Structure 1
Amino acid sequence: MSEFVSGPQAWVGAWSEKRAELSPDRVGLVDASTGRRFSYADLDERANRTARLLRARGVDREDRVAVVSRTRPEVVDLFLATAKTGSVLAPLSHRLAPPELAALLGRVDPALLVVEAPFLEGTRTALDEAEGVETTVVAVEAADDEASPAADTPTYVETVPTDDGPVETPPLSPDDTHLLLHTGGSTGTPKETVISHRAVVWNSLNTIASWGLRPDDVTPLTFPTFHTGGWNVVTVPVWHIGGTVVIAREFDPGQLLATVEREGASVLVAVPAVLRMLTDHDDWAETDLSTLRVVKSGGGPCRDAVMAAWWDRGVDLSQGYGLTECGPNNFAMPDGWPREKAATVGKPAMHVDARVVADGEPVEPGAVGELQLRSPHAAAGYLDDAAESEAAFGSGWVATGDLASVDADGYYTIEGRKKDMFVSGGENVYPSEVEAVLAEHDAVDEVVVVPVPDDQWGEVGKAVLEGDESLTLADVESFCDGRLAPYKVPKHIAFVESMPTSGPEKIDRQAVADRFGER
């Protein structure tokens, strides 16, 4: 802990208490899966009860609380309660296989493990495989599911104390850890990123200031809470300013459209696949979208056709950029931004410095290099991984591992991951550029381009397509003629019924490469 110790107003622990004082009757959370609505007074009382549960279970300051669950009010309780007690919340993906979950449990080593009932069996298997992890398991009984916890497992409802009065909060530094969030890596065990109270607060302030959030904003949460998007994209910023967050256990495009209309949603952030599914739904044309004021795409490039569909409905959709290690809200579109800048992520947000470098030096406008970021909302590093932390954070800038360019007007464009770029006949090929062209074809719903070995050129592209399987390689070559340089045009194609995903409907590029990375 740093030497500076602040009052609770400078860190996340007092937020539910402050909101309960300033706007006690305003709705802070809506659970669309059950219809329950929670005021800020309700949320603070629930957080106080959960804080007492943590202490009763022996969870001390800096101890870790892991949770394996879908998005539900109890996970919100844990977020607010760990902030009050100075303990650390480590949400873990319920989508992981037991060996993968075991590796993360071994890394996090939680003092308490809270598990939603449907995932108890897999989590217990993971615990059996995790080395040296001794923890207490508390189950959240999912009343809206058939699954129930085993009789010998204490449940959240039975365990949480009834006293919802104020709890004593320890002195904390803004540099103390509030969250451990695992990266979305699809090879090896994901890294656990250390997120301080300071980072959460600054990302929230940055988002409010740069995106123009308001106290009357309502946002449906489309990201899972084991993802930085589940907390830091809009949930925490909206709570910070006193708005309303709507959650649900599962994603369904029809239900999300209904939520937007029913709740009068004004802010919506989602990955491109979700935004496309909304436009493809039967209810799209009839849904009232007039309340939407801020709509952002993140987690990958958004296709022109999808953006145009939203614009045609009068919604000012634009693209954003973030990562677990920094922010994640790093860019904003200027007021009145021109449509020809739609492929960019805009300009650096209020409290963010950005640069594009090659060999450690800034590149000329238009040139491609690695994107680096600097902001008080950057993470502190990776848990128990000094080498990776030094590589990513050691220069004073966050090395994102993403390729980008900045134009003469100061707009940044994400060109793809450094690791995704390949060299064909001595020329750099950026898959995202090729994918953007192929996605314009009427027969293509989704596309991922991966490199495959080639005797003549070293590597060439293979386009893995989701769409009309009557499309031929000759069709692809003809469509790309005049749109792409010949060396960028894929030399092989393959089809999938649906793209594999990792995280919130985000395409798992590594899984595609693993399956199709041979000729």
Structure 2
Amino acid sequence: MSEFTDGPQAWVGAWSEKRAALTPDRVGLVDATTGQRYTYAALDRRANRASRLLRSHGVERGDRVAVVSRNRPEVVDLFLATAKTGSVLAPLSHRLAPPELAELLGRVDPTLMVVETPFLEETRAALADVETAPTVMAVETDGDETVIADAPTYTDELPDYDGAVETPTLAPDDTHLLLHTGGSTGTPKETVLSHRTLVWNSLNTIASWGLRDDDVTPLTFPMFHTGGWNVVTLPVWHMGGTVVLAREFDPGQLLATVERAGATVLVAVPAVLRMLTDHDDWDETTLSTLRVVKSGGGPCRQSVMESWWARGIDLTQGYGLTECGPNNFAMPDGWPREKAETVGKPAMHVDARVVDGGDPVEPGAVGELQLRSPHAASRYLANDAESESTFGGGWVSTGDLASVDAEGYYRIEGRKKDMFVSGGENVYPSEVESVLSAHEGIHEVVVVPVVDDQWGEVGRAVVEGDESLTLADIETFCEGKLARYKIPNDVAFVDEMPTAGPEKIDRQAVAERFGEG
């Protein structure tokens, strides 16, 4: 290998010390919950202390550290410390039930677990069902002075000395993060992310989105998902910008953060972007500092995008997944509004194609989206069959359906598993949902297939919104916008859509409840 690919600049472990050397007094992290601000010099000192903590508990190169916590500075400490020591960070969702958490812990097999106090009981219940027996350390919730029985606390265990630590020589392909997927089908898979993957996604994002060293971004994703690290946190830190995090999401507080911090970059799931536009403070909040605003994690409704456009914000849609990127596309300069439902064109260091049975399809045809990039992962942890299926062909098989038009713009049509066949015709729920969401009486909508004696399957529209809507109203609204076989044959209502992750609709839960015959 060349000196560049072997050197510390090719892996994440040197980032905090490099930033501390180059921009020591610049603020890298703001904790909106406590008001604490951390310079890059302070973050590096904290990472040094955390590195010594890990080693005092027997964590060495290649060992795994699991963390169950909301977004907080201690999770950042662990990210930087595992990067320095060559160990592996495995953030696990605090939303998982003990049996689900137990299954992931059995795969991860951590040497050390760091758990925020609200989640200690569930974590211990999960550990009781697995053979792994890590040391468990508690992070006390802000203002919580409760003594944690039988668990050392992170604060008490931290060594005082914060000078430079000895670091191993790492290779770019060494693992740094184990991030689990969204878990739309059964227990989430653990994706193995190397230092190379993280560095390349960061470089790709900086180049394709035009990030700057003065960027400020509020973190809207949890740090147990790829969004919490790879969507914008690491790219912004790579440039020397500022990340603002908080324990909980609140639309009013997020709007206040955008204005108070002078946020320049905001990336969020569509539901969060909609909640911001619906909030009472929307019209009064200053948004003029925002330069890059993107939607990810699912299709963003036209009405939501128009609300942002009306405020002079050039909101666009992105696309990614834990297994690749996740920042894979960008909108070209001067993109036309009629391309708003697309995710744009492949980013600088990404190849994309749409295939059917391995062969590229014609422009406009629907097939599976495949991606190829140096920021792609290589495998799942302890899952050879799924690894071969997803990564084995030289391209990452996303499991998503897409089309690409004659101008090279890619449109996401939905998950392969969500598509259904009605009377011999393929129906893509996301297309139907995009049309229905424009109805003023529909707040959110998910279309699921149900068994039909005549057509095999037909669509059922599950609606959060005006419950006086009838099927006839929906049919009338869809006339001329959708082929007849795509129009739902039934409608059901929910008070609130179930969510999986940060305000992301749990389609599986909707299908399980409403998708029966």
TM-score, with structure 1 as normaliser:
0.98
Alpha-carbon shift at residue 4 of structure 1 (Å): 9.9
Alpha-carbon shift at residue 148 of structure 1 (Å): 3.8
Alpha-carbon shift at residue 448 of structure 1 (Å): 0.3
Instruction: Quote the Cα distance in structure 2 between the aligned partners of 1:209 and 1:335.
Output: 13
1:272 maps onto 2:270 in alignment: yes
Alpha-carbon shift at residue 380 of structure 1 (Å): 1.6
For structure 1, list consecutive stretches of 5 or more residues without a partner in the other structure: none
Deviations 1:110-129 (A, max 9, x none): 00000001100111111111
Partner of 1:326: 324
Partner of 2:84: 84
Q: Secondary structure of the residue that 2:448 maps to in structure 1?
A: strand
Partner of 1:37: 37
Greater shift after overlay, 264-273 or 474-483? 474-483
Instruction: Quote the Cα distance in structure 2 between the aligned partners of 1:85 and 1:127.
Output: 25
Deviations 1:295-321 (A, max 9, x none): 000000000000000000000000000
Alpha-carbon shift at residue 151 of structure 1 (Å): 2.5
Partner of 2:98: 98
Correspondent of 1:404 among 402, 405, 411: 402
Letter in 1 for 2:406: A
Q: Secondary structure of the residue that 2:6 maps to in structure 1?
A: coil
Alpha-carbon shift at residue 147 of structure 1 (Å): 7.9
Deviations 1:216-270 (A, max 9, x none): 0000000000000000000000000000000000000000000000000000000
Instruction: Quote the Cα distance in structure 2 between the aligned partners of 1:517 and 1:340.
Output: 33
Matches within 5 A, 1:30-429: 30-130=30-130, 132-144=131-143, 146=144, 148=146, 150-429=148-427
Alpha-carbon shift at residue 3 of structure 1 (Å): 12
Equivalent pair of 2:422/2:457 in contact (CA under 8 Å): yes
For structure 2, list consecutive stretches of 5 or more residues without a partner in the other structure: none
Q: Secondary structure of the residue that 1:169 maps to in structure 2?
A: coil
Q: Secondary structure of the residue that 2:104 maps to in structure 1?
A: helix
RMSD of aligned C-alpha atoms?
A: 1.3
Instruction: Quote the Cα distance in structure 2 between the aligned partners of 1:33 and 1:4.
Output: 39
Partner of 1:469: 467
Q: Secondary structure of the residue that 1:129 maps to in structure 2?
A: coil
Deviations 1:151-184 (A, max 9, x none): 3210000001011000001011000000000000
Alpha-carbon shift at residue 518 of structure 1 (Å): 1.7
Equivalent pair of 1:142/1:148 in contact (CA under 8 Å): no
Instruction: Quote the Cα distance in structure 1 between the aligned partners of 2:171 and 2:285.
Output: 46
Correspondent of 1:449 among 447, 457, 468: 447
Letter in 2 for 1:85: T
Equivalent pair of 1:89/1:179 in contact (CA under 8 Å): yes
Partner of 2:19: 19
Alpha-carbon shift at residue 359 of structure 1 (Å): 1.1
Distance change in 2, residues 1:185/1:374 (3 Å): same
Q: Secondary structure of the residue that 2:440 maps to in structure 1?
A: coil
Greater shift after overlay, 491-500 or 197-206? 491-500
Letter in 1 for 2:60: D
Deviations 1:406-443 (A, max 9, x none): 00100000000000000000000000000001100000
Partner of 1:490: 488
Instruction: Quote the Cα distance in structure 1 between the aligned partners of 2:75 and 2:424.
Output: 50
Equivalent pair of 1:404/1:416 in contact (CA under 8 Å): yes
Partner of 1:435: 433
Equivalent pair of 2:4/2:10 in contact (CA under 8 Å): no
Instruction: Quote the Cα distance in structure 2 between the aligned partners of 1:407 and 1:5.
Output: 37
Letter in 2 for 1:383: L
Instruction: Quote the Cα distance in structure 2 between the aligned partners of 1:3 and 1:241.
Output: 23
Q: Secondary structure of the residue that 1:499 maps to in structure 2?
A: coil
Equivalent pair of 1:402/1:414 in contact (CA under 8 Å): yes
Percent sequence identity over aligned pairs:
79
Q: How many residues align?
A: 517
Instruction: Quote the Cα distance in structure 2 between the aligned partners of 1:147 and 1:38.
Output: 23
Deviations 1:445-480 (A, max 9, x none): 000000010111110000000001111111111111
Letter in 1 for 2:38: F
